[in-house]
Amino acid sequence: MLKNFVTHATKTTLLATISGLAFMVATPSFAQQSTPAAASEPERGIETVVVTAQRREENLQNVPLSVSAFSAAQIQARGLTDMSRLENSVPGLTFGRSGVDARPAIRGVRTENVGVNGDTTIGFFIDGVYQSRAAQATLGFVDLDRVEVLRGPQGTLYGRNTFGGNISIATAQPRIGQFKSGLDITVGENNKVRIEPFINIPISDTAALRLSGASEDDDGYVKNVNPSGNNLFDEKTRYMRAALLLKPTDKLTATIKIDSGTRGGAGGSAFGYKLAGTFFDVPSNQQLFNATPIRNLNTRGGNRDGVVDAPLTIDAGIPLFAAGDPYTIDTDQKTILDLTSTGASANIAYDFGSFTLKSITGFADFEAIRTSDTDFSASTIGTDYQLTSAKTFSQEFQILSSGEGPLSYVVGAYYFDDELRGVFINEQVPRTIRGVGAPVSLPVAGAGFYDEQRADTTSIAAYAQGSYAVNEALKLTAGLRFTRDTKDFKFANAAAVLPLAGTPPNPVGTAITLATGGIPASAFGSKGAPTNCVFAATAIQPRPGFACLAANTAVLTGATYDTAEFEKLTWRLAADYQLTEDNLFYGSVSTGFRSGGFNSGQNQAALTPTFKPEEVTAFEIGSKNRFWDNTLQLNVAAFFNKYDSLQEQRQIPAGNTTLSIIENSGKAEAKGAEVEGIWRPIDNLTLNLSLSVLDAVYTDYTNVPLPFGTSIVVADATQLTPTIVNGITIANAGQRRVFAPGYNCGPVPGTGTGAVGAPALAFGCDLTGKKLPYASDYSGSFSAQYVFDLGGLGQVTPLAVLTFNSGFYGQPANSILDKQDAYTKLDLRVTWDINDNLSLGAFVNNVTDEATANRFVWGGGGALQASYAPPKLWGIKANLRF
């Protein structure tokens, strides 16, 4: 394995970079220039950033990990106003969004499932407290001291669900003895107004209070041309935080923080807001929506109903339609977003001299309601409602070594309790389809389904990591962590159990009231309940450990699962060598895991009720360097990650719709290199570079089921019998199902057979060798800023940031439907620092107005949905300090 790592991971750009570094640091004259600056750093010196990546404060350049970190000053200078903009500065980070959910991807690891039955793959931490829901971390991106992005598994010091890395936010700390206040105001396109105030109040010589917050209103950048609908990605955000610092003695420090926030408006839809592509059958021009033929969805003027003309045809002229204008929609349903979050944390530390004892306590109460127009069209067909709530408590204790001895260590214990509730409702309403064709008869008002899931997780962990300095240059590190997750899960699915308010359909734009009594408690069953279950009104035997409700015609299926436990021992071994005080080389081997979970909504014996944890073993070598009197910083890393038992979200046929499940689906590898550089060649000029080269593919991924949306049924007289898969007819006699190009499906797994007379099965696709989603061959950014000194008028600093990406696929199948082509974007901003208390600025993000998808997901009706990064947006900003 190590041989494979060394052979493949040190290719291309990284190999040349490391070779150059080795030559420079081996040259005596160069090493002399690398001597650290004296206490009074040269004016051109690069800022030192202190991080807590190893759970203690350290200089970023001394940490033998791949870490990108940004201080408060850098956050302001680079315009990192929300978490998604980190991808412009962090090598290899792709930041996707579905509505308010953050879905980052690092080194081939992506955040796919954020439902009740799934955990994040990239961990989110605020002031050391883990955030269980991906939407929680995006709300409090206000008044920050620092942001850290750790790339690669962090299974020892951070534990569960840091499978691909983590994003850690350190909010601003109160300052004792310092009164300071400030106000940041941003106005911009789409009537954007954002106000961020803060005030730091010294209470006494041992206490200080800091208050901060944010208020933002924005009309949204996705425009709806339908007067019955509304724009998307608007903002109606209110947020506040209070932090109290107590330092009664030199040894005891306590910081208590409370925060609360809301986000409203229309939101960005629950999953995606645009059809990424679909099939139409010529000449009938039909599309399947939940297996119901819907004619002429695309016949309105301007092709505004989600898709545009077909860029290509397959299989005897069947057109494959692509996405329309990403920032224009024509939907008649008013969507809503109603998100509330309240949290509290306490960080307490006591210095005993030889060691420090820390306590980190966290509590969060999170709720979100969001809706989407299910059909993405001007036709009133269906609406989805998604409701999520989470109540989380965590407690961590740490013992950290103090002093200057050769041994440094951290020992910890962790407890985590999470109560999750999720409700998904699909409501279909009777309307005539807008278009030229004949009207389509849809189900009665209120038809659809209701799915409720309840998951309770208790996690305990114990860990230790120690580093021993063999001599002044060489340090060896070893770490170990044991984690046990205990999970309980129950669900119930019901058909049309919710009463409609008012005259059908529901008044658009109003939140429906959950009639929780619509599904009785007995619908969830209980452990050891009778063995007969109801699925589609037919009693069948359940799987082992699957306890279901007895016959109930209103409930399709309901179950309480047996308690599941997932245990894992993760570890890290590393060595680092300080060649000079400014040049560090390191190598490491580490492991990580993402916890297992449950599937719901199905009671078919062929399907698995639980899925296992996914695992990773990661190898990394790297170097961190500063040269030329602290004016050049160059950090490089090469890595090779092996992923096993990957949790892949699949859509499988289930009656007239598709069912979303998670399965452990094979193996993958990711190898590549990353470079981060800062150079100040002259006093006022700063150049930044980030670069990622990545090769991430599935090494074993066969017999994959694909959703109906990847295929279409066409006439084939040679097919004499129906094609049946898992008890589901996917093509009747005289028909066959044709898949989009690139899926490699066939009656024999991996044959790719799709010729006339040889039906392509919904099961039996071989995706081995396909690229992992959101894994670009190369990506990065280059920025330049120059400070113009205006004398008594202050300083003016223009900044240009160029980001580039070779493109990626958004789904494992790597088809043309989920492909994002290569792109380049340019951001421009200028800041005028008039004095220490006042600065003015202006910016244009995405000057080139590139439309780039950052999220693809299959919907239940077989539609591939997409979300897009913002278009060109401008604004002006004023920062005041008092």
Domains, the chain, ordered by start: 180-278+289-701+768-881 (2.40.170.20)
Residue 603 exposed, middle or buried by CB count within 10 Å (0-12, 13-18, 19+):
buried
What region does 273 belong to: left with phi over 0, alpha with psi -120 to 50, or beta?
Answer: alpha
Q: If you ran DSSP here, which 8-state letter would residue 850 be given?
A: -
pLDDT value for 18: 36
- Nearest one of 477, 731, 762 to 606, comparing CA atoms: 762
Amino acid in the structure at residue 878: A
pLDDT value at residue 448: 58
Backbone φ and ψ for 743, nearest 5 degrees, come out as -85, -20
Q: For 5-19, 144-158, 178-192, 651-665, which range has the lowest pLDDT when averaged over its residues? A: 5-19
Strand, coil or helix: 506: coil
Q: How confident is the model at residue 779 (pLDDT cuts 50, 70, 90)?
A: very high
Give me the mean pLDDT over the 455-459 stretch.
94
- Predicted confidence at residue 299, as pLDDT, reads 39
Q: Which residues pair with 222 in a beta bridge?
A: 232
For residue 689, give every residue at least 6 positions away whose Cβ sits within 8 Å of its Cβ, in sequence order, or none. 675, 676, 677, 678, 679, 780, 781, 782
Whether pLDDT at 511 is above 60: no
Asked whether the beta carbons of 739 and 706 are under 8 A apart, the reply is yes
Q: 387-390 long-range contacts, Cβ below 8 Å, gap at least 24?
A: 387/421, 387/422, 387/423, 387/424, 387/514, 388/116, 388/133, 388/420, 388/421, 388/422, 388/423, 389/420, 389/421, 389/422, 390/132, 390/133, 390/136, 390/364, 390/365, 390/366, 390/418, 390/419, 390/420, 390/421
Q: Give percent of the chain above pLDDT 70.
A: 70
Helix, strand counts (H, E) of the chain: 5, 56
CB 720 within 8 A of CB 735: no
DSSP letter at 678 equals: E
Neighbours of 330 (CB within 10 A): 25
Question: Is 747's pLDDT higher than 70?
Answer: no
User: Average per-residue pLDDT in the chain?
Assistant: 78
Tell me how many degrees the CA angle 878-869-267 measures, rounded to the nearest 5. Answer: 80
How far apart (Å, rounded) are the C-alpha atoms in residues 458 and 490? 15
The single-letter code of the amino acid at 312 is: L
> Which residues make beta-bridge pairs with 704?
765
Beta bridge partners of 340: 262, 367
Beta bridge partners of 238: 215, 262
Residues 6+ apart with CB under 8 A from 165: 106, 107, 109, 122, 123, 149, 150, 151, 152, 153, 154
Give residue 430's pLDDT.
Answer: 44
Mean pLDDT to the nearest integer, 691-717: 76
pLDDT greater than 70 at residue 510? no
Residue 728: is it exposed, middle or buried by C-beta count within 10 angstroms (0-12/13-18/19+)?
A: middle
CA 781-819-595 angle, to 5 degrees, is 80
Phi, psi of 825 (to 5 degrees): -125, 155
pLDDT at 861 over 60: no
Q: Can you give the pLDDT at residue 611?
A: 86
Of 303-312, 417-426, 517-526, 567-576, the one with minimum mean pLDDT is: 303-312
pLDDT > 70? residue 727: no
| 300 DSSP 8-state letter | S
Q: Give the confidence band of 177 by pLDDT, cuts at 50, 70, 90.
A: very high
Pairing of strands 328-329, 223-224: parallel
Lowest mean pLDDT among 528-532, 559-563, 791-795, 826-830: 528-532
Round to whole Å and give the CA distance between 656 and 730: 10
CB 713 within 8 A of CB 73: no
- Inter-residue contact 412 to 388 (CB < 8 Å): no
Encode pLDDT of 604-613 as tens digits: 444 567 888 9
CA distance 388 to 385: 10
- With cut-offs at 50, 70 and 90, classify the pLDDT of residue 471: very high
pTM reported for the whole predicted model: 0.84
CA distances from residue 834 to 20, 75, 788, 797 in whole angstroms, order as listed:
41, 19, 12, 11
β-bridge partners, 216 = 194, 237
DSSP 61: G
User: Is the pLDDT higher at 287 or at 484?
Assistant: 484
Element (H, E) at 412: strand 407-428
Band of the pLDDT at 571, cuts 50, 70, 90?
Answer: very high
Q: With cut-offs at 50, 70 and 90, classify the pLDDT of residue 331.
A: confident
Q: Is the Cβ–Cβ distance between 193 and 216 less than 8 Å? A: yes
- Percent of the chain whose pLDDT exceeds 90: 48
Alpha carbons 30 and 518: distance in angstroms, whole number: 75
Pairing outcome for strands 819-820 and 853-858: unpaired
Q: Given this model, what pLDDT does residue 330 score?
A: 80
239 touches 827 (CB < 8 A):
no
